[in-house]
Amino acid sequence: MSRTYVEKLLAELNEGRILTQQTFEGLDVEGYLNDRDASTFADEWMQSFKRWAQATAVAEEEVLRACREQAFKQTLALTGEPELAGYVSDDIGLIGAALLQGTANDSFVDQLLESYRQGRLPLR
């Protein structure tokens, strides 16, 4: 895995294939954010973050910043919810960081990406 995979992720975001109106349809934002924070999901997310996203060199990658920014803007435009947009942006950043570093066997990150590609938020 490499930069090419992250560029593909950015292209999918830019083309509106990852975040759509259906992704957020019928969402109780407060309930969703509470569920994410209170579950084992939050623990797994932090473990993956520590593993993939804390490397300074990765965090500075322009393509990664572009992915995070696009995810934030699209979520905000579709929902009007800045806190939710921050969570989605963080998810996309984590996915991108793992892809940049060549992970192919992180089941948690794979599940995050698969959820978004299927048009649903993780946990939903």
CA distance readout (Å), 61 to 41, 55, 64, 118, 123: 26, 11, 5, 26, 28
pTM, 2 dp: 0.90
With CA atoms as reference, report the closest residue to 74 among 6, 34, 17.
Answer: 17
Q: Which amino acid is at 13?
A: L
User: Rounded to 10 degrees, what is the CA torsion of 78, 83, 84, 87?
Assistant: 130
**Exposed e or buried b for every residue in 69-82, given b needs 16+ CB within 10 A?**
ebbbebbbebbebe
> Per-residue pLDDT tens for 46-63?
998 888 877 656 656 888
Say if CB 55 and CB 97 are below 8 A apart. yes
> Per-residue pLDDT tens for 72-110?
999 999 999 999 999 999 999 999 988 888 755 788 999
> Per-residue pLDDT tens for 105-124?
788 999 999 999 999 999 85
With CA atoms as reference, report the closest residue to 98 among 86, 88, 111.
Answer: 111
Alpha carbons 100 and 80: distance in angstroms, whole number: 30
